[in-house]
Amino acid sequence: MPVNYVLVERPNPLDSAVPRKCYAQAKASGSIHLKQLSKNMAARCTVTSSDILAVLDALKQEIVKHSSALGIAPAHQLFDAIKIEKNDKGRPARSFGDYTVTIDKSFIPQGVELIEML
């Protein structure tokens, strides 16, 4: 699936005297529901779409705010802070309540704010 993009000119947030640079920015070509996204992901791995949907549902409840427009930490470092465990491993998951989500705030670097939405 091709990714469409546009070029966006942006200033250096650390030094406004430097000339602006052009960056590629992905251009949305539509939307997809979490249920369809989980099915697409499950088709490419061994995890079930129900498990993926539960994880995606849990992650959409967390908002990360960086103090810099370019970001403070890479996404993989922030995802390492989130641990999702199935409560009863002997039964299939049927809802978000079948999982426990914990966030180790020691993984969240200074300058990054984690806003938990309920």
d(Cα 91, Cα 89) in Å, to the nearest integer? Answer: 6
In this predicted model, what pLDDT tens digit does every residue of 31-63 receive, in sequence order? 777 788 888 889 988 889 888 888 877 666 666
In this predicted model, what pLDDT tens digit does every residue of 56-92 receive, in sequence order? 776 666 667 777 777 878 877 877 888 888 888 888 8
- Token pair, residue 70, equals 């370019």
Q: How many residues are there in the chain?
A: 118
CB count, 10 Å around CB of 108?
Answer: 18
Identify whether the C-beta of residue 87 lies closer than 8 Å to the C-beta of residue 98: yes
Closest CA to 85 of 95, 99, 71: 99
Question: What does DSSP assign to residue 108?
Answer: S
